[in-house]
């Protein structure tokens, strides 16, 4: 069974904190991914504005509405080749770890970036130099996370630094910390050549669960198509993702895992959930 949820910025536009949380509650959604910068208009959630009181206040507003932050989103580019920009992003992520602790979020999540200062797609993201740059960033982040007591969620993407199950497995071994867990966005692991090849998609996900299934803590759920090498997101059932390739593992290994619908909407949420559940016994 999957416990479904959504990203706050897919539910409503940016607005004052309490208005956003009211709208989420009114949709009957409990589990959320919250990115302060994308959802909250009346407060700045950065290091300068942090205090234990501010964090506690935010957490109380969530708790009053029965909302659970499965992922506090802080998507940075830890592989940025520009050292000054990279350090600034690392500091921003570490700042979010403090908020996560106060609001009771399960983790702070990010992807693993590209080896370009403008985040453009480049084959350089697959180089050892890029990998070591990213690893150095995460060593700083994880050191802080261990001190604060908050989990870091890491998400692989086919054209990012952690572009394959094997690359993610190497990273988990190298970072060597129980404070790191995996946000599995199965669609993001599918390269263009596997778009209409269910067997290839199955192989990718089999490898992911075989190599680090015990570290997969949250799911991102959506569908996709490709235009050239650009991945475009679709509602479940409207693209080429082979949901059985994922759900056979979820059924066996991940009872009540939280699955966050991405690029969904309040009007589509129930239909999207029902489609996914149709593949589960």
* Per-domain boundaries in the chain: 2-277
Neighbours of 272 (CB within 10 A): 23
pLDDT digits (tens, 9 = 90+) for 190-223: 999 999 999 999 999 999 999 999 999 999 999 9
Q: Which two tokens stand for residue 223?
A: 């569908």
DSSP code for 215: G
pLDDT digits (tens, 9 = 90+) for 222-252: 999 999 999 999 999 999 999 999 999 999 9
In our burial notation (b when 16+ CB lie closer than 10 A, e otherwise), range 14-28 reads: ebebebbbebbeeee
Q: Which of 167, 116, 157, 4 is nearest to 70 (CA)?
A: 4
DSSP code for 161: S
Q: Which of 210, 198, 202 is nearest to 253 (CA)?
A: 210
Over range 54-59, report the average pLDDT: 98
- Helices then strands, counting H and E runs in the chain, come out as 10, 10
- Can you give the pTM of this predicted structure? 0.97
Dihedral sign computed on CA atoms, order 50, 54, 56, 59: negative
Over range 47-57, report the average pLDDT: 97
Strand-strand pairing, 223-227 and 230-234: antiparallel
Question: Which CATH number fits the domain 2-277, given the four candidates 3.10.450.30, 3.30.70.1280, 2.60.40.4070, 3.20.20.150?
Answer: 3.20.20.150
């Amino acid at each position: 069974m999957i416990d479904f949820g959504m990203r706050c910025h897919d539910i409503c536009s940016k607005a004052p904190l309490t208005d956003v949380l009211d709208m989420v509650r009114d949709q009957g959604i409990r589990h959320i991914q919250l990115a302060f910068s994308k959802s909250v208009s009346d407060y700045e959630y950065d290091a300068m504005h942090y205090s234990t009181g501010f964090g506690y206040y935010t957490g109380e507003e969530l708790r009053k509405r029965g909302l659970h932050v499965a992922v506090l989103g802080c998507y940075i580019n830890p592989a940025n080749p520009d050292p000054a920009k990279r350090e600034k992003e690392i500091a921003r992520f570490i700042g979010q770890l403090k908020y996560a602790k106060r609001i009771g979020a399960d983790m702070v999540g990010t992807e693993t970036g590209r080896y370009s200062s403008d985040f453009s797609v480049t084959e350089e993201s697959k180089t050892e130099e890029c990998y070591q740059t990213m690893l150095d960033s995460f060593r700083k982040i994880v050191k802080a996370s261990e001190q604060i007591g908050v989990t870091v969620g890491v998400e692989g993407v086919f054209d990012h630094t952690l572009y394959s199950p094997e690359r993610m497995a190497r990273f988990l071994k190298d970072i060597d910390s129980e404070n790191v867990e995996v946000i599995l966005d199965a669609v993001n692991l599918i390269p263009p050549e596997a778009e209409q090849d269910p067997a290839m998609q199955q192989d990718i996900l089999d490898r992911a669960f075989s190599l680090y299934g015990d570290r997969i803590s949250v799911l991102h759920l959506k569908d996709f198509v490709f235009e050239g090498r650009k991945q475009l997101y679709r509602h479940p059932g409207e693209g080429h993702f082979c949901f059985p390739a994922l759900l056979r593992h979820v059924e066996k290994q991940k009872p009540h895992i939280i699955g966050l619908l991405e690029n969904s909407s309040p009007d589509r949420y129930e239909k999207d959930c029902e489609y996914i559940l149709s593949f589960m016994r």
